[in-house]
């Protein structure tokens, strides 16, 4: 099964149908790029499912989900890197999370450059 079909079937939204939008097939490389950046299918389908709950019309390209996936992946990686040492105060903990999230976003921006521009 194609990645686009896997995600669309898992999300199960009438507004996300690769059979009705060919661009969901041609832009499915975005899903592979998210996976290469560290997002697993559970994270991808969870985030897309949350976005689709608010969606009022069809989505025609996976690039529509780039920013929500980036944020979720940055949060996930920041929490993985986060050291909750009891000696750090709340401000220091937030600063550490923000630095980790910024590093992840910079890494993802590099991946996007390496994958080439998207065809929106």
The one-digit pLDDT tens for each residue of the chain (120 residues) are: 788 999 999 999 999 999 898 899 999 999 999 999 999 999 999 999 999 999 999 999 999 999 999 999 988 888 877 655 455 677 877 888 888 888 888 877 776 555 555 544
Every domain of the chain and the residues it spans:
3-115
- Report yes or no: 33 and 108 within 8 Å, Cβ to Cβ: no
* pTM listed for this prediction: 0.67
Residues whose CB falls within 8 Å of the CB of residue 10, separated by 6 or more in sequence, listed in order: 41, 45, 49
């Amino acid at each position: 099964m194609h990645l686009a079909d896997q995600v669309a079937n898992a999300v199960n939204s009438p507004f996300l149908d690769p059979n009705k939008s060919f661009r969901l097939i041609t832009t499915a490389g975005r899903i592979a790029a998210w996976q290469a950046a560290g997002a697993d299918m559970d994270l991808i389908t969870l985030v897309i499912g949350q976005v689709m709950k608010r969606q009022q019309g069809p989505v025609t390209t996976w690039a529509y989900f780039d920013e929500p996936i980036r944020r979720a992946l940055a949060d996930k990686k920041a929490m993985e890197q986060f050291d909750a040492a009891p000696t750090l105060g709340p401000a220091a903990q937030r600063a550490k999370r923000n630095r980790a999230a910024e590093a992840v976003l910079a890494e993802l921006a590099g991946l996007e450059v390496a994958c080439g521009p998207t065809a929106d």
